[in-house]
Structure 1
Amino acid sequence: MHKNRINILGTEFDNYTEKQFHKYLSDDMDGRSNKFIVTANPEMVLSAQKNPKFSKVVNSADYVIPDGIGIIKGAKTLGTPMHERITGFDTLMFLLQAANRKQLKVYLLGSKPEVIEASAKRIEREYPQLDLVGYHDGYFKDNQVIVDEIAEKKPNIVLVALGYPKQEFFINEYRKDIDAIWIGVGGSFDVFSGTKKRAPVILQKLGLEWTYRLFKEPTRIGRMLAIPKYMNLIRAEKKSQEK
């Protein structure tokens, strides 16, 4: 499955078109496979560089998809162009639509109580064929209690919004107990629930979603600085390749 992985500063990305990726996921759902999806952006690549344990978890996932225009730009600069950006949010929407069509069981974990409640309500309203077997906010002390609850519900898909690297470590540790498609969705429930707005489509197409986020939440400036830092590392990597 991973013959075509592309290494970006130590993180290995799958190079699929979104259509190919969706086909694989659809087959995985039909086969009741146990799969782990990581949606990685430049910030996570930098984090994985600093944290070998995190890097190992990410690179051992079944799918690592390029969530962020920076990944696509980086790949191009390094001479290993990738097909296209595949966002975590779009993947979340695809999984919900497919689960609705195939009448599968879904479990939600993470976010603030009001965000996860609102997300659950929207799923029940818009995806009536999908079986939402349970949900829990991200404020829990005992992992095992949560994992036992998820195992009891036997979901086909588990959407985990604990923020990186926590969600990836959690999935990596507990997925072996529950055959499902596991994905870390970060802040996607904030947008899905309507708590936060997604950038206008034109900015999404131009790869400028980050400017919208920064405008909406100026406190994100620290996180945004990861992008120029990442691009500098990409350029340094390119130079060392050329020597």
Structure 2
Amino acid sequence: MRASFLGCPIDILTMAETIDLARKAMRDRRRLQHVALNVAKFVNMRSDPVLAADVANSDVVGIDGMGILWGARALGLPARSRVTGVDLLGELLAVCAQDRFRPYFLGATPAVLQKAAQRARDKHPSLVLAGLKDGYFTSEQESDVVRDIRSSGADCLFIGMPTPRKERFLAAHRDELGVSFIMGVGGAFDVLAGEVHRAPVQMQQFGLEWLYRVYQEPGRMWWRYTRTNTLFAGVLTQAVLRQALRRAFSEAQNALPRGTGRIGG
């Protein structure tokens, strides 16, 4: 189910439903682009037209962040659960191993990428990777990267490059890649490689993963999360208040005796 959340499209899907869509796209050789929406991406979309267009033009906009889930619920959308990018990556690697689909990993540092690939193979011995390419390539090398992805015959492409670089790469080359399922995975390769640890489950449930990331990387993450969380809270609060005022006004209008307020009534 597609809905509008503060002007941004979101797809209200479960993990199982998202996996089914990805599997069907790979099986039918039909392109499907997935975007995982979190608070930081939502806030950055408001000032980055390329990022906003990438999200709007994606086939599936999944609810990744707990803040997005809570915000959707606060506005009355029937969102039951989120589908985090790192969890979806893990599930889809299992699907690839089972169904013989071949993923391509793009992004991260060479060392992290190799380690992530090895750990994925260790967990899924039947997994065959179509290719690997780190994210440290120049704009002049982009055509070579696109050519390598296309010639690899990959069924799915997982991109671990930062926003907005990933979006700019896809905007320029999406139609040339020849890959059925495309998904940005953010920093999931670092998690897969064991270089970054996820927050404890209870912190995830209470929407405090951002705080755990700040704890792990305070210098890089403190300002990012302070800025985006504050801006998101402001936007959401205004929307909730507007919705409440509209509802109150509508109820007050409906409660008026028939003909009240009409000229000559």
Structure 1 length-normalised TM: 0.93
Deviation at 1:217, TM superposition (A): 1.7
Deviation at 1:208, TM superposition (A): 1.9
Q: Does 1:194 align with 2:191?
A: no
1:99-178 aligned at under 5 Å gives the runs 99-141=96-138, 142-177=141-176, 178=178
Alignment partners' CA distance in 2, 1:133 and 1:204: 32
Structure 1 unpaired stretches of 5+:
none
Deviation at 1:79, TM superposition (A): 2.1
Deviation at 1:103, TM superposition (A): 1.0
Deviation at 1:107, TM superposition (A): 0.9
Deviation at 1:13, TM superposition (A): 0.6
Matching residue within 54, 68, 72 for 2:69: 72
Deviations along 1:31-86, one digit per CA (max 9) or x if unpaired, are 12211110010111111111223211111101100111000111122222412111
Alignment partners' CA distance in 1, 2:54 and 2:31: 15
Structure 2 unpaired stretches of 5+:
247-265
Q: Which amino acid in structure 2 is aligned with residue 161 of structure 1?
A: G
Structure 2 length-normalised TM: 0.86
For the aligned residue pairs, the C-alpha RMSD in angstroms reads 1.4
Give the number of equivalent residue pairs: 240
Alignment partners' CA distance in 2, 1:50 and 1:8: 17
> Could you tell me whether the CA contact under 8 Å between 2:102 and 2:127 is conserved in 1?
yes
> Could you tell me whether the CA contact under 8 Å between 2:106 and 2:158 is conserved in 1?
yes
Q: Which amino acid in structure 1 is aligned with residue 44 of structure 2?
A: S
Deviation at 1:207, TM superposition (A): 2.4
Partner of 1:221: 222
Partner of 1:212: 212
Matching residue within 215, 220, 235 for 1:233: 235
Larger mean CA deviation between 142-151 and 22-31 belongs to 22-31
Deviation at 1:136, TM superposition (A): 1.0
Alignment partners' CA distance in 2, 1:30 and 1:155: 12
Q: Which amino acid in structure 2 is aligned with residue 17 of structure 1?
A: T
Greater CA radius of gyration, 1 or 2? 2
> Could you tell me whether the CA contact under 8 Å between 1:66 and 1:72 is conserved in 2?
yes
> Could you tell me whether the CA contact under 8 Å between 1:147 and 1:174 is conserved in 2?
yes
Matching residue within 9, 15, 19 for 2:16: 19
Deviation at 1:240, TM superposition (A): 2.8
> Could you tell me whether the CA contact under 8 Å between 1:10 and 1:49 is conserved in 2?
no
Alignment partners' CA distance in 2, 1:39 and 1:70: 13
Q: Does 1:5 align with 2:2?
A: yes
Alignment partners' CA distance in 2, 1:119 and 1:12: 31
Moved over 6 A (4+): none
Alignment partners' CA distance in 1, 2:121 and 2:14: 30
Q: Which amino acid in structure 2 is aligned with residue 198 of structure 1?
A: R
Alignment partners' CA distance in 2, 1:19 and 1:124: 23
SS of the aligned residue for 2:158 comes to strand
Larger mean CA deviation between 11-20 and 144-153 belongs to 11-20
> Could you tell me whether the CA contact under 8 Å between 1:11 and 1:48 is conserved in 2?
no
Q: Which amino acid in structure 1 is aligned with residue 151 of structure 2?
A: E
SS of the aligned residue for 1:131 comes to coil
Alignment partners' CA distance in 1, 2:23 and 2:2: 20
